[in-house]
A = this chain, B = another copy of it.
Amino acid sequence: MEDIILNAPSLKSVIHCGEGSFKRYAPKLGGNIFIVTDSNVFALYGELIKQIFANAPMYILPAGEKSKNRTQLFQIINKMIESGVTRAYTVVALGGGVVGDIAGLAASLYMRGIKLIQIPTTLLSQVDSSVGGKTAIDYLGVKNVLGAFYQPAEVIVDPLFLKTLPAREIRCGLGEIIKYGAIDGDIYASLCENKNRLFDLKYLETVVADCIRHKAYVVRDDERDTLGVRKTLNVGHTTGHAFELFFKRKSHGEFVLIGMFYELFIAERAGVCAKDYADSLRLLIKKVIGGIPAYENADKAARFAKYDKKNDKQSTVSLIVPGETGKCREMKMPIETYVREIGLCAAEIKGGLC
């Protein structure tokens, strides 16, 4: 598959996609490598990692979201200093979103930034988080509150790693893929056409590259998320994040889908999105996660949206909702209106109106 080039203002990032790309490109990364991975990935691919990277120094994070914290960040840095990592080294982040986020931040801070390569191993990180340079840790209960925009020089996206992923992780990645469907007409058409093979790895290989290509343009035009362009990537995320904070349990990608499902009702009622189009997106969402929960406490959960970084102030909520094929719109409303709307959505879902 052809490389995708992300011409970000700060650095050109080359994204190698497709089956076989790991074994083709990883050995070319050269000698001075420092690897960050996690315990799950290492259990599955430890032998392969040793085969490709020989005795490169490595830090293995405990698997899971909780590792995206300050303590682990400094454990990585300690290991880099101990291993004598210099400016001539490259950090390889081999794992899912947590590994990519924390290793990317470590690479950006070490000697004010050394070369970074992302090798995402989950569908979510392949389709979204490994590309575009957002790195971060959570701190004092605030998600991604400390981080940097730091582009990887290369990203290697190989479906090899998806073969060992649990179905739930695939659903999680599909959440972000359907999000791209809501902002890119071609991806939407592809998803509708292939709605019965969304879990097929051969199909995912193609659609992942399409999503990355879309994201590459968005990031090129708004690398630091200040111009409004990159905001479009947040479809469904306002409600998704609020539910994630309140209900926990499900994964980020699933909550993005649930958030989009709820927000589609709001967009429809406001006349921002036509019923047919909203229905077809809801169908795709249900293909991925089956039944949508009609949360009893949806309105309580919605109050967490006031902490969203997209808001100008805590009293106003900003939603990015699908408008028509390939187009999104931003809806701003007082928090009380939003909370009421979300409550109505939950009632509609409960009543089986969708």
Residues 107-130 of A contacting B (Cβ, < 8 Å): 108-113
Name A70's contact: one of B74, B108, B136, B225 (CB within 8 Å).
B74
B10 touches A309 (CB 8 A): no
Contacts of A145 in B (CB 8 A): 81, 110-111
Q: Distance (Å) between the CB of A9 and the closest chain B CB?
A: 7
B81 touches A148 (CB 8 A): no
A148 touches B9 (CB 8 A): no
Q: Is A149 positioned at the interface, with any CB of B under 8 Å from its CB?
A: yes
A108 touches B148 (CB 8 A): yes
Total A residues in contact with B, Cβ cutoff 8 Å: 32
Residues 132-172 of A contacting B (Cβ, < 8 Å): 134-136, 139-140, 142, 144-149
Q: Is A195 positioned at the interface, with any CB of B under 8 Å from its CB?
A: no
A149 touches B74 (CB 8 A): no
B148 touches A309 (CB 8 A): no
Contacts of A146 in B (CB 8 A): 77, 109-110
Q: Is A16 positioned at the interface, with any CB of B under 8 Å from its CB?
A: no
| Given A10-B9, A10-B10, A309-B87: A81 and B111 interface contact (C-beta under 8 Å) | no
Q: Distance (Å) between the CB of A225 and the closest chain B CB?
A: 8
A77 touches B148 (CB 8 A): no
Convert A6-44 into 0s and 1s, putting 1 for each residue whose CB lies closer than 8 angstroms to a CB of B: 000110000000000000000000000000000000000
Name A112's contact: one of B10, B87, B134, B142 (CB within 8 Å).
B134
Interface SS of A by simple majority: mixed
A81 touches B142 (CB 8 A): yes
Q: Is A315 positioned at the interface, with any CB of B under 8 Å from its CB?
A: no
Q: Distance (Å) between the CB of A297 and the closest chain B CB?
A: 25
Q: Is A312 positioned at the interface, with any CB of B under 8 Å from its CB?
A: yes
| Given A10-B10, A77-B139, A142-B81: A111 and B309 interface contact (C-beta under 8 Å) | yes
Q: Is A224 positioned at the interface, with any CB of B under 8 Å from its CB?
A: yes
B109 touches A147 (CB 8 A): yes
Contacts of A148 in B (CB 8 A): 108-109, 112-113, 148
B149 touches A136 (CB 8 A): no
- A sample of 10 more A-B contacts (CB under 8 A), given A9-B10, A81-B140, A81-B145, is A78-B140, A109-B146, A109-B147, A109-B148, A110-B145, A111-B147, A111-B309, A112-B136, A112-B149, A113-B224
Task: Give 12 CB contacts A-B under 8 Å.
Answer: A10-B10, A78-B140, A86-B309, A109-B148, A110-B146, A111-B144, A111-B147, A112-B135, A112-B224, A113-B149, A113-B224, A148-B148
